[in-house]
Amino acid sequence: MAERIVALLGGDQRELTLLPSLKAAGFTVQTFGLPEDSLPGGVKSCASIAAAVQGALLLILPLPGVRDNGRLHAPFLAEGQRLLTAEDLAACPAGTPIMVGVASPYLRRIGRELHLPVYEIAEADEVAVPNAIPTAEGALQLAMQELPLTINGLQTLVLGFGRVGEALALRLRALGAEVVIANRGSGRFAKAARQGFALYPWETLAESLGRFDAIFNTVPAMVLDKGKLLALRRDALIIDLASGGGGTDFAAAGELGLKALHALSLPGKVAPVSAGRLLGQVYPGLIRKILADKD
């Protein structure tokens, strides 16, 4: 039986925790950017991306992926070693899948140039549902660190009631916070109502922003523009959990003296081992599905 090689490029403690599951599923793993002395036996450490992708049926990038400046999420590497270029992947045969959490335009451009299909998995239910829990817990931890107030009695607004918004709202309420939900889609709005949350219509949101101690955004679109930021108290805290550029005008927030945090990749920061175990439960099946679709 031919070796089933996958290349794991970059990553943090989550990827280190994931490796045993990939091995147990029968994959031969070639890595770049993870500490060699922490790798399980049989996992190959490569000195370059080009070496790691040799013979690989599929490439695995970390959930945060590659930024538009080409910077690979690889915190174990020195800053100057984190660049991923088209030349690094040039040896991959056309059709080799790239699996990533969120694909930047930069990565998509490389995929098009080299005919390597890019599979975004961050929104797949198998990944997004369990990943919402450490994201929500990380947001709570940030709020506790940054606010001079207890969560109990905190006046909070959660923008968006998707997987992360729901997980966060439930945990805020369990700790005694006053939770209000604003969501643009009627379906999720109705679900929030069924769970007993107070709701604000999206259209009139700006009128009530001044009452909140903390605003948590999960919507990956510009929802907290300068006009809405002007309505906030100067001591309010914004924690933006949305992917990409987030949903907050961070420049305007700085000008107004507001504390606005773009809290990306919280599972890898606050609960990397738990997050890695979750990935280990779903990645082998996702990889098999992607390879089967390719064939």
Determine the pLDDT at residue 182.
Answer: 94
Determine the pLDDT at residue 196.
Answer: 95
What is the Cα–Cα distance from 94 to 90, expressed in whole angstroms? 9
What is the Cα–Cα distance from 291 to 295, expressed in whole angstroms? 6
Residues 45, 167, single domain; the answer is no
Determine the pLDDT at residue 271.
Answer: 87
Residues 59, 81, single domain; the answer is yes
Three-state DSSP class for residue 73: coil
What is the Cα–Cα distance from 146 to 186, expressed in whole angstroms? 32
How many folded domains does the chain comprise?
2
What is the Cα–Cα distance from 228 to 205, expressed in whole angstroms? 8
- Structural domain that includes position 253: 128-264
Q: Could you tell me if 205 and 230 are in contact, meaning their C-beta atoms sit under 8 angstroms apart? A: no
Determine the pLDDT at residue 1.
Answer: 47
Residues 59, 138, single domain; the answer is no
Residues 240, 137, single domain; the answer is yes
Beta strand segments in the chain, E: 5-9, 28-32, 44-45, 58-60, 98-100, 118-120, 155-159, 178-182, 198-199, 214-217, 237-240, 259-262
Residues 205, 86, single domain; the answer is no
Residues 63, 145, single domain; the answer is no
Determine the pLDDT at residue 197.
Answer: 96
Residues 260, 135, single domain; the answer is yes
Residue 287 belongs to domain with CATH number: 3.40.50.720
Residues 156, 194, single domain; the answer is yes
Query: Each residue's pLDDT tens digit in the chain (295 positions)?
Result: 467 999 999 999 999 999 999 999 999 999 999 999 999 999 999 999 999 999 999 999 999 899 989 999 999 999 999 999 999 999 999 999 999 998 999 999 999 999 999 999 988 888 888 889 999 999 999 999 999 999 999 999 999 999 999 999 999 999 999 999 998 877 788 899 999 999 998 888 888 899 999 999 999 999 999 999 999 999 999 999 998 789 999 999 999 999 999 998 888 888 899 889 989 999 999 999 999 987 6
Residues 46, 158, single domain; the answer is no
Residues 155, 70, single domain; the answer is no
In 69-206, which ranges are continuous DSSP H helix? 105-114, 125-146, 163-174, 186-194
Q: Could you tell me if 83 and 72 are in contact, meaning their C-beta atoms sit under 8 angstroms apart? A: yes
Residues 162, 65, single domain; the answer is no
Determine the pLDDT at residue 76.
Answer: 95
C-alpha triplet 174, 204, 160: angle, nearest 5°: 40
Residues 68, 193, single domain; the answer is no
110: which residues sit within 8 A by CB, 6+ positions away?
84, 85, 86, 89, 116
